[in-house]
Structure 1
Amino acid sequence: MVNEGDSQGEAEGDPGTVRPGGRTARVRAAVLRAAEDALAEHGFARLDLGDIARRAGVGRTTVYRRWGTVTALVADVLADMAEQSERRADTGSLLADLRANARLVQRTLTDPRQAALFKAVIAAATSDARTAEAMHRFYQRRISEWSPCVEQAIERGELPEGTDPAEVIRAVSAPLYYRLLASGDPLGPDVADRAAEAAVAAARAGAYVRIVP
């Protein structure tokens, strides 16, 4: 828990722009963890900044002054998730890289806490524009992180020139999210591997080559 009495001289700063050490960073980490717990437990609709402040062990005024609204706090949760997410693989093989990507997504979506958190945020994004924007930024950051795997494969001659890296990365994770959110089918490592293999096969066949008008 973080107490407001620590190091009062530090400025609060804007969400997502704080320096890595000191009270400001400790407060942000505690509040974001509390927000994630609350989202995983009872979803977006019942989020309350006062409850999150209590969970985090910080003053209500600190939370209200720094984030102001539930949607601003959820946006910062997503920004933090992007910052903390595992970095991309670099094996020298497109298939191995994309298997690593798929396995990372699969582990996240089968973790009880993380799966509940993603479901809550995705549900919120369907009805709240600011949350939707934050989610789009989160996924764009993850796609940008993994796109070099595809770019390097193009340079090695594994894929046709003009292949769209972002589309290949999307193709890996899309069937995994479908199972989480729509079908409810089992989501094991074998499913992740098949998603990566299918994306690679389609990319090699030219399915993701950009069409120039």
Structure 2
Amino acid sequence: MLAAVVDLLRERGLPSVTIEAVLTRSGVSRATLYRHWPTRRALLIDGLNRLMPPPMDVPDRGTAQERLRVFVDGLAHQLSAHPWASVLPTLLDEARRDPEFATFMPGFLDARRATLRAVLEDASGRGELRDGIDSDVAIAQISGPLLYRRLVSDEPLDQYFRDQLVAGFLATYRRP
């Protein structure tokens, strides 16, 4: 059943994942589906959790610049090549429309922010970045341009752009 949900998500996004579509695609009975997932929302969340990549793993060694490049390159790759990226626009739309579904988003985002937050805190602790950086703002400054290019402008997330993103961030926050 979850394979059917993932396939539907990848093909046409969240709106295509209806109970009827999952039943048709999976060949299971309605009773079986509802035994495991009492609502469409619960089914969607489990399908999304299966589709989404795990939070990125950034090495705990290296300079702030090296570690930020690993993070930025990894996020750019996920946004460009991973199947979940095509679902992201409909996921964001659904979270705005459905307050109960929106409860999925904080946990999803927090798990992904934790990696970058750890990189920033470690770099600050080692004296590479200024003290008192607002990590939520810093995370938005790093991730936001990648998401904008992927979701809005459809410009490439090429190496030059990624390098400039890291260089600009470090020019602002590097300890003098």
Listed as ranges, the matches of 1:164-179 within 5 Å are 164-179=134-149
Name the structure 2 match of 1:198: 168
Extract unaligned runs of 5+ from structure 1.
1-29, 207-213
Amino acid at match of 1:169: I
Name the structure 1 match of 2:118: 148
Verify: 1:96 aligned to 2:66, yes or no.
Answer: yes
The number of equivalent residue pairs is: 176
Listed as ranges, the matches of 1:43-58 within 5 Å are 43-56=13-26, 58=28
Listed as ranges, the matches of 1:55-134 within 5 Å are 55-56=25-26, 58-80=28-50, 84-111=54-81, 113-134=83-104
d(CA) in 2 for partners of 1:184 and 1:126? 22
CA contact (8 A) 1:148 1:165 kept: no
User: Structure 1 residue 53: deviation in Å?
Assistant: 4.3
Q: Deviations over 1:39-74 (max 9, x none)?
A: 221222221124224434644333222222222223
Q: Deviations over 1:2-28 (max 9, x none)?
A: xxxxxxxxxxxxxxxxxxxxxxxxxxx
Extract unaligned runs of 5+ from structure 2.
none
Aligned-residue RMSD, C-alpha: 2.5
Verify: 1:189 aligned to 2:163, yes or no.
Answer: no
- TM normalised by structure 2 equals 0.83
User: Structure 1 residue 112: deviation in Å?
Assistant: 6.5
d(CA) in 2 for partners of 1:76 and 1:200? 38
Q: Which runs of 4+ in 1 moved over 6 A?
A: none
Ranked by relative contact order (alpha carbons within 8 Å, sequence separation 6 or more), the top structure is: 2
d(CA) in 2 for partners of 1:190 and 1:67? 45
Task: Give the % identical residues.
Answer: 29
d(CA) in 2 for partners of 1:113 and 1:82? 8
Amino acid at match of 1:188: D
User: Structure 1 residue 81: deviation in Å?
Assistant: 5.4
User: Structure 1 residue 133: deviation in Å?
Assistant: 2.3
State the secondary structure of the residue aligned to 1:91.
Answer: coil
User: Structure 1 residue 111: deviation in Å?
Assistant: 1.6
Of stretches 83-92 and 184-193 in structure 1, the one that deviates more from structure 2 is: 83-92
User: Structure 1 residue 77: deviation in Å?
Assistant: 3.6
Higher helix share: 2
User: Structure 1 residue 134: deviation in Å?
Assistant: 1.0
